[in-house]
Chains A and B, each alone.
Chain A
Amino acid sequence: MTMLKIENLHVRVAGKEILKGLSLEVKSGEVHAIMGPNGAGKSTLGYVLAGRDGYEATQGRIEYDGRNLLDLEPEARAAAGMFLAFQYPVEIPGVNNTYFLKAALNAQRKARGESELDSMQFLKLVREKLAVLHLKEDLLNRAVNAGFSGGEKKRNEIFQMALLEPKLAILDETDSGLDIDALKMVADGVNAMRAPDRAFLVITHYQRLLDYIVPDFVHVLADGRIVESGDASLALRLEEHGYAWIAQRKLAGAA
């Protein structure tokens, strides 16, 4: 079943066109990797899907779960099962992690017409998910991402994903800044969540993460468009030849 359908998407940020006719279809249960050089528009894709202000779709459409995604506020997208793991998770001093997560989970549940979790039920759920990510419980008493190391921030993103159990998870360069142990933990967390009714969009610059999270499809994003799609082996060829190889192939094809 098609979960996400992006057609001819053009997105403008601060007056500049970043996505220039991007099309992509993601079905339930699939893991898609989006690779591409710096500045290709990878993070813009993540932000426009999550609904960040200032990322303006000027053309095209995004259908998510049968609805026009662009009509929904960010919180409504979250309640509908969308999750973005940030490349740069935001530090929010003074806001307690547990309080924030409980507010988020219960707001989503309320919006979906489900019953809210009480403190006991919530803590039980949190402890289960912390164990999977090898995160310490003291993380819960700290402020959101405040003073976290780079690796802790990224693991905290995946922990939030595990807790919120989205239908479509977008991982924006979750591998950047991670050492190999942290990378494996993150990949284990993602792989444990792979399910027939859930899809992943894994945005990455390097092939390394895809050794651990093996995608069903790999797309190359360059200059605001998907210029090449293939299976997991495309990532390996990219790693071998570099992004310039794609550009050359495009030129050859055009000639």
Chain B
Amino acid sequence: MDGLLDEFGSGDAQARAESWRYSRQALRALEQQEFKGADGKATVPRELIERFDWPQTRGHRLVFVNGVLDAALSDASTSGAILETAADGAHTLRFAGKGAMHLVFANVATATPARWNAAVHVRVDSGKAFLVEQHVGTQGADVLGALASQFTIADGANLQTATLGDLPGSASLVRRVEATIGAGSAFGATHALCGGRFQRFDIDAQLAGARAQIAARGVFALRGREHVDVHLDVRHAARDTASDVLWRGVADGRARGILHGAIAVAPGADGADARLQTKNLLLSPHAEIDAQPVLEIYADEVKASHGATVGQLDERALFYLRSRGVPLAAARNLLIAGFCREAFARIEATDLRGPFEALLDAHLPQQQQASE
């Protein structure tokens, strides 16, 4: 039975199998479990609320509890967005002009394993919108969430998203974004994915109009048996479009990280500028990172570059720090954090760097000081 693969995969059987090959086992393990429908009215504990109740996003925050919008915890009065909910339960956020929204997905564990599905679409009709997407949860019985989105960025509009995947070891998340980027418009997406039992992130982006741009950046920092699978598929479908994918991965313990970055330049999409770079750090002989850069180019006038590396900490940099007096364990931590931070160097909303760095600091594989 291919229940979850049929549900989460897209394309024909072969495409699904290929796209999920590194995570098939993780999916099978989830299939073994009996999930009930998650309780969308579960009480969110105070300590979980504290993790997303940022002062700077009060008044433009929507909180989903196990996939269900929680009106009491939400307040979008100053967001500049219009929220519509369709008969099938899918929500659509429409931005026109300047707007910002903090979307919180709280996975609240109940007595038995539970799962939820939700759909939140985003339309930016004009102007610039900022979206923070935060996934948090409580430890307990397994929760499997599935969140699907269509992002539609109209001609000349701009959407910047920041995604913080900060899950407890009992939560799994399957997140899929289909983005359509219009002429002269821009989509910037930054991710920090940590924790969780299993996280799968798909971004399927179409540069549909001339001069459309996408910048997708992010980090996964994994330890223990964490498993994060990221698939970025960018299609240049119009002239003079630009894509910039930059990803950093760190894996310790028996963790598994996958970054599949595929850029396709369609026939006639001349003047495309495609960049794809991923650097990965393995901190343990049992950790595994699979970096798959794919370029498919069907146009003539194209600038394209890609690079993927998987390596260990730079011995020269480590010695340099130690020669200045920084102890070995601290020097390693400094290098690992610095390696990840490069992915955040160009976040536009500088007040978001704090939450990103705090999330990383809490999740980076810490090297313990031998003498302490």
| Chain A positions near chain B (C-beta within 8 angstroms) | 50-53, 73-75, 77-79, 83-84, 86, 89-90, 92-96, 99-101, 103-105, 107-108, 111, 143-144, 160, 164
| Docked complex: B307-323 residues within 8 A CB-CB of A | 314-317, 319-323
- In the complex, what's the smallest C-beta–C-beta distance from B277 to chain A, in angstroms? 13
A160: which B residues are within 8 A, CB to CB? Answer: 324
The 8 Å CB contact of B325, one of A86, A89, A90, A105, is: A105
**Given known A-B contacts A73-B328, A75-B328, A90-B317, A50 and B323 have beta carbons under 8 A apart:** yes
A75 touches B320 (CB 8 A): no
B323 touches A84 (CB 8 A): yes
B322 touches A86 (CB 8 A): no
The 8 Å CB contact of A104, one of B316, B325, B340, is: B325
Q: B174 contacts the other chain (Cβ, under 8 Å)?
A: no
Q: CB-defined interface of B324-359 with A at 8 Å, one 1/0 digit per residue?
A: 111110110011011111100100000000000000
A107: which B residues are within 8 A, CB to CB? Answer: 325-327, 330
B325 touches A78 (CB 8 A): yes
B316 touches A90 (CB 8 A): yes
A94 touches B325 (CB 8 A): no
B326 touches A94 (CB 8 A): no
Tell me the complex Cα distance, A108–B327, Å. 9
Tell me the complex Cα distance, A92–B322, Å. 13
A-B pairs with lowest CB-CB distance, top 10: A94-B338, A78-B325, A95-B338, A108-B325, A104-B324, A74-B322, A90-B320, A94-B341, A94-B342, A104-B325
The 8 Å CB contact of A95, one of B315, B325, B335, is: B335
Tell me the complex Cα distance, A86–B324, Å. 11
B338 touches A93 (CB 8 A): yes
B341: which A residues are within 8 A, CB to CB? Answer: 94
The 8 Å CB contact of A74, one of B317, B323, B335, is: B323
| Chain B positions near chain A (C-beta within 8 angstroms) | 314-317, 319-328, 330-331, 334-335, 337-342, 345
14 other A-B residue contacts (CB within 8 Å) besides A78-B322, A89-B320 = A51-B323, A52-B323, A53-B319, A75-B331, A78-B323, A83-B324, A92-B335, A92-B338, A95-B338, A99-B334, A100-B326, A100-B334, A104-B326, A108-B325
Tell me the dominant secondary structure on chain B's binding face. helix
- In the complex, what's the smallest C-beta–C-beta distance from A45 to chain B, in angstroms? 14
Tell me the complex Cα distance, A94–B281, Å. 14
Tell me the complex Cα distance, A108–B322, Å. 10
A75 touches B325 (CB 8 A): yes
B315: which A residues are within 8 A, CB to CB? Answer: 53
Tell me the complex Cα distance, A216–B162, Å. 60
A105: which B residues are within 8 A, CB to CB? Answer: 325
- Minimum CB distance partner of A91 in chain B: B317
- Minimum CB distance partner of B320 in chain A: A90
- In the complex, what's the smallest C-beta–C-beta distance from B332 to chain A, in angstroms? 12
Tell me the complex Cα distance, A90–B327, Å. 17
A84: which B residues are within 8 A, CB to CB? Answer: 323
- In the complex, what's the smallest C-beta–C-beta distance from A156 to chain B, in angstroms? 12
- In the complex, what's the smallest C-beta–C-beta distance from A11 to chain B, in angstroms? 16
- Minimum CB distance partner of B319 in chain A: A52
Which of B315, B320, B330 lies at the interface centre, i.e. has the most chain A CB atoms within 10 A of its CB? B320
**Given known A-B contacts A52-B319, A103-B330, A164 and B325 have beta carbons under 8 A apart:** yes
**Given known A-B contacts A95-B334, A95-B335, A100-B334, A75 and B340 have beta carbons under 8 A apart:** no
Which of B330, B331, B340 lies at the interface centre, i.e. has the most chain A CB atoms within 10 A of its CB? B331
The 8 Å CB contact of B338, one of A79, A108, A143, is: A143
B319: which A residues are within 8 A, CB to CB? Answer: 50, 52-53, 74, 90
- Minimum CB distance partner of B339 in chain A: A94
A94 touches B322 (CB 8 A): no
B322 touches A73 (CB 8 A): yes
Tell me the complex Cα distance, A93–B325, Å. 19
- Minimum CB distance partner of A81 in chain B: B325
A-B contact pairs, 28 of them (CB 8 A): A50-B319, A51-B323, A53-B315, A74-B323, A75-B328, A83-B324, A86-B323, A89-B320, A90-B314, A90-B317, A90-B319, A92-B320, A92-B321, A92-B335, A92-B338, A93-B339, A94-B338, A94-B339, A94-B340, A94-B345, A95-B334, A96-B338, A100-B324, A101-B324, A105-B325, A107-B326, A107-B330, A164-B325
**Given known A-B contacts A53-B319, A90-B317, A75 and B326 have beta carbons under 8 A apart:** yes
Tell me the complex Cα distance, A242–B334, Å. 44
Tell me the complex Cα distance, A77–B317, Å. 17
